[in-house]
Amino acid sequence: MSTNNLIIEERRRKIGQFLVGRLLPFAKKRMVGPFIFIDHIGPMTISTGRYLDVDQHPHIGLSTLTYLFEGEIMHRDSLGNEQRITPGDVNWMSAGRGVVHTERTPQGLRNGREYRNHGFQIWVALPRELEEMEPEFHHIPKSSLPHWKEGGIRFTLIAGEGYGQRSPVPVHSTLFMIKIETTEPSELNTHDHLQGETGFCVVQGAMHTPQARIGRGKMLVSMTKDSCRIRLEENTTLLLCGGQPFSEPRHIFWNFVSSDKSRIEKACKMWQKREFPMVKHDNSYVPLPALYSTKFK
């Protein structure tokens, strides 16, 4: 392993009533490949008075990827999609020129029964030529994703390409997102199987490099050519996120991503004026953060 690897620790951020662990963006590393935002959701207990309710909010210039280990979330968007996501499925929404959505506890689970939500909310920046694409939404069931086993490691290719496999998630750039699960102490080899940068997100258990033991809630960032072999403890779960970086930088403010700062400012003004298409039969509205006035004025 290269001695230049960066270890990022989750920082706690509040989303409604709940705390999430934010890995990206990070001050010393804004993106990993095209991945620009990674939130580790939970595990959180959902119960009466503590339901997940993320009201209407907009996006531009990115694709969202929702992946759950436990629980359920109902997605609704301004395109008219209504999709319940369950563990192992993928919700993939490309915002392009603009889309609005909500994420909530499904109505059928608002019955007082306690359960856990646990997963990841991820944003992938779009290539510059696709930043203004027509928005679209895709749901890919767990059964459609490539699954395989090598020794004591189970692999699931959630998105992109790797290890000679391709996920059906319709991504727009060269990337990969892979779930790794061990049933015994194992060695993970990524050399020649993945291209670009890699973020090794430790969901549970631990991984070892020659320099460190990296436990739950941390992410190791490395070039794939530098991370040939990594030792994994028994009962470890990783998410590998990465790919080829873009040649030009991306700007991010709130829920907006673009290669052009002025495009983000335009989106902010549109949201303030309520010029985005909205989710039908939903009157909620998340206001623009107050920080906008100091960032763009």
Question: Does residue 74 register a pLDDT over 80?
Answer: yes
- pLDDT at residue 296, rounded to an integer: 56
- pLDDT at residue 1, rounded to an integer: 38
Over residues 213-241, mean pLDDT: 90
Over residues 102-109, mean pLDDT: 96
CA-nearest of 31, 90, 88 to 64 is 90
Residue 292 — very low, low, confident or very high, per pLDDT cuts 50/70/90? low
Question: Would 251 be classed as within a structural domain?
Answer: no
Over residues 51-56, mean pLDDT: 96
Percent of the chain past pLDDT 70, that is, above it, reads 95
Q: What is the pLDDT of residues 133-178, one digit of tens each?
A: 999 999 999 999 999 999 999 999 999 999 999 999 999 999 999 9
Contact 201, 38 (CB under 8 A): yes
Question: Would 83 be classed as within a structural domain?
Answer: yes
Over residues 99-127, mean pLDDT: 96
- pLDDT at residue 112, rounded to an integer: 86
> Backbone phi, then psi, for 80, in 5-degree steps?
100, 5
Question: Would 269 be classed as within a structural domain?
Answer: no
- pLDDT at residue 286, rounded to an integer: 97
Tokens of 127: 């290539």
Question: Does residue 225 register a pLDDT over 90?
Answer: no
From residue 143, alpha-carbon distances to 10, 12, 88, 106 in Å are 30, 33, 8, 22
Helices (H) and strands (E) in the chain, counts: 2, 25
Residue 104 — very low, low, confident or very high, per pLDDT cuts 50/70/90? very high
Measured in whole angstroms, how far is the alpha carbon of residue 118 from the centre of its chain? 13
Contact 44, 18 (CB under 8 A): yes
Question: Would 78 be classed as within a structural domain?
Answer: yes
> Backbone phi, then psi, for 167, in 5-degree steps?
-80, 150
Quick one: DSSP state of residue 250? -
- pLDDT at residue 191, rounded to an integer: 85
Structurally, the chain folds into a number of domains equal to 1
Question: Would 260 be classed as within a structural domain?
Answer: no
Angle made by CA atoms 115, 120, 121, in degrees to the nearest 5: 115
CATH, residue 170: 2.60.120.10
- pLDDT at residue 229, rounded to an integer: 76
CA-nearest of 186, 190, 192 to 240 is 190
Over residues 81-97, mean pLDDT: 98
- pLDDT at residue 247, rounded to an integer: 95
Measured in whole angstroms, how far is the alpha carbon of residue 42 from the centre of its chain? 13
How big is the chain by its Cα radius of gyration, in Å? 19
Residues 6+ apart with CB under 8 A from 40: 10, 20, 21, 22, 23, 120, 201, 203, 217
**What domain range includes position 158?**
6-243
Average pLDDT, the chain: 94
Lowest mean pLDDT segment, chosen from 120-129, 217-226, 232-241, 282-291 = 217-226
Question: Would 264 be classed as within a structural domain?
Answer: no
CA-nearest of 10, 30, 28, 27 to 19 is 10
Residue 16 — very low, low, confident or very high, per pLDDT cuts 50/70/90? confident
Contact 169, 138 (CB under 8 A): yes
Over residues 108-126, mean pLDDT: 95
